Amino acid sequence: MASTIGDLGEFGLIARVTARFPETDDVILGPGDDAAVVGAPDRRVVATMDVLVEGAHFRRDWSAARDVGHKAVAQNCADVEAMGARPTALLIGLAVPGDLPVAWVDGFTEGVRAECAAAGAAVVGGDTVRSERIAVSVTALGSLDGGRAVTRSGARAGDSVAVTGPLGLSAAGMELLASGVEEEAVEKAGARAALDEHRRPGPPYGAGPRAARAGATAMLDVSDGLLQDLGHIAEASGVAVDVRRSALAPPPGLAEAAALLAGYGHRREAADYMLAGGEDHALAAAFPPGAVPAGWAVIGEIREGRGVTVDGRAPAPSGWDHFG
């Protein structure tokens, strides 16, 4: 029996990664041919792509293979949702060292499969290649189901700014891991949710299409930090965004994580993680007055002007830097 990827071979690896994925109604022809065939009933396809690189986006000593599989799917499907679309199909490129245990790939595939089930999507193909370290490339496709795409450029003065999904937990979880806080201490402090969200982010599946139907004027996935991402809406829409700090309700476990981290030299409150954290994969959107759907929390408003403020004041630079 093969114990490493080198023993398995390229075609064996591809077969292992794409095996046992049930086809959905959107998939006309799945893995096995030169290309897949995915339905596009309204003649439009939403497409996005992200890359995860070992050492930059995940560490094997922090995250299990299954965690990486979950994250790879979640961050891409969140981008599809942010356009007001429903995830339908994914293509996965996997670069791995030849001495990587086959068990790692099996765990990764289990995570991919489970997150696809949550998102309602299917893996329809991909490619594999040898590499010195693990890299995962995921292309995700989505369907607007006859609806409209929600971009970053439609926000107007007077709109409400709202969010759905956990904010701040992933960043706090990463700080817990980077600070070497023992998982037993995290459990005791009631901060387990921070580690879980960092390892396996949980996008609010279905919220994107519902927001589009409710009339969202602009929307995006919160992946680089709330303030930094709201800055993308402000710039694209030519407006100002003001966030009310008092409107930020910390998700369960975040305040506990912040309190625990204070003992390790980190002096940030729960709201700071919500404003400046990264890899949340929650959604932020602008809605006309009175149009905010259930499940979304209003945290600010769109005004005339430029840039992003918190309680009317410019915040310090924050957020994730992909080349930092």
Q: According to the model, what pLDDT value does residue 324 have? A: 44
Q: According to the model, what pLDDT value does residue 296 have? A: 98
Q: What is the CATH number of domain 5-143?
A: 3.30.1330.10
Tokens of 82: 């942010």
Annotated binding residues for substrate, written as ranges, equal 57, 279, 320
Average confidence (pLDDT) over 187-208: 97
Annotated binding residues, written as ranges, equal 34, 48, 50, 57, 79, 126-127, 152, 221, 223-224, 279, 320
Q: Kindly report, residue by residue over 86-127, the tens digit of the pLDDT.
A: 999 999 999 999 999 999 999 999 999 999 999 999 999 888
Number of residues in the chain = 324
Report CA dihedral (155, 319, 315, 202) to the nearest 10 degrees: 60
Parse the chain into domains and list their residue ranges. 5-143, 160-310
Contact present, 199 and 183 (Cβ < 8 Å): no
Q: According to the model, what pLDDT value does residue 150 have? A: 98
Average confidence (pLDDT) over 231-253: 98
Q: Kindly report, residue by residue over 216-225, the tens digit of the pLDDT.
A: 999 999 999 9
Contact present, 224 and 276 (Cβ < 8 Å): no
HSE-CB for 212 with a 13 A CA cutoff: 21
Q: Report, at the CATH architecture level, how domain 160-310 is classified.
A: Alpha-Beta Complex (3.90)
Q: What is the chain's mean pLDDT, rounded?
A: 92
Contact present, 150 and 157 (Cβ < 8 Å): no
Annotated binding residues for Mg(2+), written as ranges, equal 34, 48, 50, 79, 127, 221, 224
5-143 and 160-310, same CATH topology = no
> Which amino acid would we find at residue 59?
R
Average confidence (pLDDT) over 180-206: 97
- Give CA separation, 157 vs 34, 228, 300, 315, in Å: 49, 19, 12, 20
% the chain with pLDDT above 70: 91
Annotated binding residues for ATP, written as ranges, equal 126-127, 152, 223
Q: In whole angstroms, what is the distance from residue 269 CA to residue 203 CA?
A: 23
Spatial CA neighbour of 118 closest among 266, 281, 267, 255: 281
